[in-house]
């Protein structure tokens, strides 16, 4: 039976087999391509658009139903171009210019600060944009962008901003002033500025004054020599800060303002019946300028057995001398640490064993 069937079958020629295989392969590719193609995203419209197919016979009725507003006749192509342009403008408005760097320079006077500023601004879209300046309390005069007059103000009806017309990097310059607030401890300055990844303030301060109480996260250096004989130069570096607060106070020594040391102490104590093992860790930071000597006041009864600090040259312990008379044998002690070079930060570790004494307790013997 099988032989009879095979004998009656007619096989196509090799050329026809190749054609059939090619057509089948192309059909399979088309089906796979249709299955693997990503779904088309819905077009983005700047405003809700309702598309309605209207025949010529129903056109008059639809026009009567939409009497509100003014109707303008447009071709399909012109309409789609306007929709596309409006969508691009809306998307560009969501990508405003950004401030990359801000550099301020000023002189301090009891009446206020006055100086100059330079900003580096980048704009990544071709259409004009507005750099937001919502948190900005400096009085600006003579603002320029790329050697042309700059336009600042409430441009979008929401908050102050800087108008940036073209795409790319731009240099903005300006003169500015800021008020100061007189307080018993000194003059308080509060600058609200647009945040930038890189920022700094160079401030010229009279030689009899110094900078203190700077906003956390800022780096302060000074005093540095300057081209002005009656002023020292101080630098404050910051990043992504929208507020810069600091105090200008009178210095004890006009030639060398006192450094300001801030420290956090962590102590570990091991208490035994009549003995105490204590270890103190001071994480310190020095503002204004470095120091080559540190002093630590120790309670009475503590004996220093070891001191460790990077860059330490040596240390000495001495009894604190009272204003009148000789020092008490069991009185407080002063630990003085000498450094090989100026230090601005570090971790100081002090090991202090001592007797555990309770003066008010008595032993009862039976």
Radius of gyration in angstroms for the set of CA atoms belonging to the chain, rounded to a whole number: 39
Is residue 68 situated within a structural domain?
no
Does residue 219 sit in the same domain as residue 275? no
Is residue 1 situated within a structural domain?
no
Does residue 300 sit in the same domain as residue 207? no
Which tokens belong to 290? 């470095």
Contact 205, 180 (CB under 8 A): no
Q: Which long-range contacts (CB under 8 A, 24 or more apart) does 80-85 make?
A: 83/45, 83/46, 83/49
Does residue 114 sit in the same domain as residue 172? yes
**Residues contacting residue 39 through CB under 8 Å, at least 6 positions apart:** none
CATH number at residue 265: 2.60.40.1730
Is residue 13 situated within a structural domain?
no
Confidence at residue 45, expressed as pLDDT on a 0 to 100 scale: 65
Is residue 363 situated within a structural domain?
no
Q: What is the dihedral of CA 300, 294, 255, 115, to 10 degrees?
A: -120
Edge-to-edge strands of the sheet including 231-238? 148-149, 139-145, 168-178, 112-123, 98-109, 198-206, 231-238, 219-224
Give the residue numbers spanning the domain of 142. Answer: 98-250
In whole angstroms, give the CA distance from residue 160 to residue 168.
21
Does residue 297 sit in the same domain as residue 242? no
Confidence at residue 236, expressed as pLDDT on a 0 to 100 scale: 95
pLDDT tens, per residue, the chain with 366 residues: 444 433 344 445 544 444 444 444 444 444 444 444 444 445 566 667 777 777 877 777 777 776 666 777 778 788 777 777 776 666 666 788 999 999 999 999 999 999 999 999 999 988 888 999 988 899 999 999 999 999 988 877 778 899 999 999 999 999 999 999 999 889 999 999 999 999 999 999 988 889 988 988 899 998 888 888 889 999 999 999 999 999 999 886 555 556 778 888 898 988 887 788 889 999 998 876 667 889 898 887 788 999 999 999 999 998 888 777 777 777 888 899 999 887 888 999 999 887 776 554 444 443
Does residue 188 sit in the same domain as residue 219? yes
Q: Identify the CA nearest to 282 among candidates 298, 311, 262, 299.
A: 262
Confidence at residue 97, expressed as pLDDT on a 0 to 100 scale: 93
Is residue 27 situated within a structural domain?
no
E strand intervals along 124-185: 129-132, 139-145, 148-149, 152-153, 161-164, 168-178, 181-183
Does residue 284 sit in the same domain as residue 188? no
Domain-terminating residue out of 209, 230, 250: 250
Confidence at residue 31, expressed as pLDDT on a 0 to 100 scale: 47
Is residue 140 situated within a structural domain?
yes
Does residue 335 sit in the same domain as residue 244? no
Is residue 151 situated within a structural domain?
yes
Does residue 242 sit in the same domain as residue 272? no
- In the chain, the number of structural domains is 2
Does residue 238 sit in the same domain as residue 292? no
Which tokens belong to 286? 């020095």
Is residue 61 situated within a structural domain?
no
Domain-terminating residue out of 190, 221, 250: 250
């Amino acid at each position: 039976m099988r032989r009879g069937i095979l004998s009656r079958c007619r096989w196509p020629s090799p050329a026809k087999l190749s054609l059939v295989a090619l057509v089948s392969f192309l059909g399979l590719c088309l089906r796979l391509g249709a299955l693997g193609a990503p779904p088309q995203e819905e077009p983005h419209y700047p405003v809700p658009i309702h598309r309605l197919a209207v025949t010529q016979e129903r056109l008059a009725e639809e026009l009567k139903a939409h009497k509100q507003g003014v109707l303008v006749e447009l071709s399909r192509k012109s309409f789609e171009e306007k929709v596309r342009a409006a969508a691009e403008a809306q998307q560009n408005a969501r990508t405003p210019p950004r401030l990359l760097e801000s550099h301020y320079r000023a002189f301090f006077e009891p009446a206020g600060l006055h100086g100059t500023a330079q900003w580096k601004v980048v704009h990544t879209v071709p259409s004009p944009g507005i750099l937001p300046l919502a948190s900005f309390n400096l009085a600006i005069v003579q603002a320029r962008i790329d050697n042309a007059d700059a336009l600042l103000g409430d441009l979008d009806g929401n908050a102050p901003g800087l108008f940036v017309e073209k795409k790319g990097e731009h240099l903005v310059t300006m003169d500015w002033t800021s008020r100061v607030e007189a307080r018993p401890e000194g003059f308080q300055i509060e600058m609200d500025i647009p945040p930038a990844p890189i920022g700094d303030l160079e401030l010229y301060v009279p030689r009899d004054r110094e900078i203190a109480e700077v906003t956390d996260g800022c780096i302060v250096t000074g005093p540095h020599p300057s081209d002005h004989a009656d002023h020292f130069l101080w630098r404050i570096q910051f990043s992504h800060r929208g507020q810069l607060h600091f105090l200008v106070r009178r210095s004890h020594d006009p030639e060398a303002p006192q450094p300001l040391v801030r420290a956090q102490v962590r102590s570990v104590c091991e208490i035994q019946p009549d003995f105490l093992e204590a270890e103190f860790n001071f994480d310190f930071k020095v503002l204004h300028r470095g120091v080559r000597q540190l002093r630590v006041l120790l309670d009475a009864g503590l004996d220093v057995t070891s001191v460790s600090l990077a860059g330490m040259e040596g240390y000495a312990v001495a009894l604190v001398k009272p204003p009148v008379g000789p020092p008490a044998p069991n009185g407080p002690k002063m630990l003085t640490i000498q450094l090989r070079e100026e230090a601005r930060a570090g971790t100081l570790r002090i090991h202090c064993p001592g007797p555990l004494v309770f003066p008010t307790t008595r032993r009862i013997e039976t």
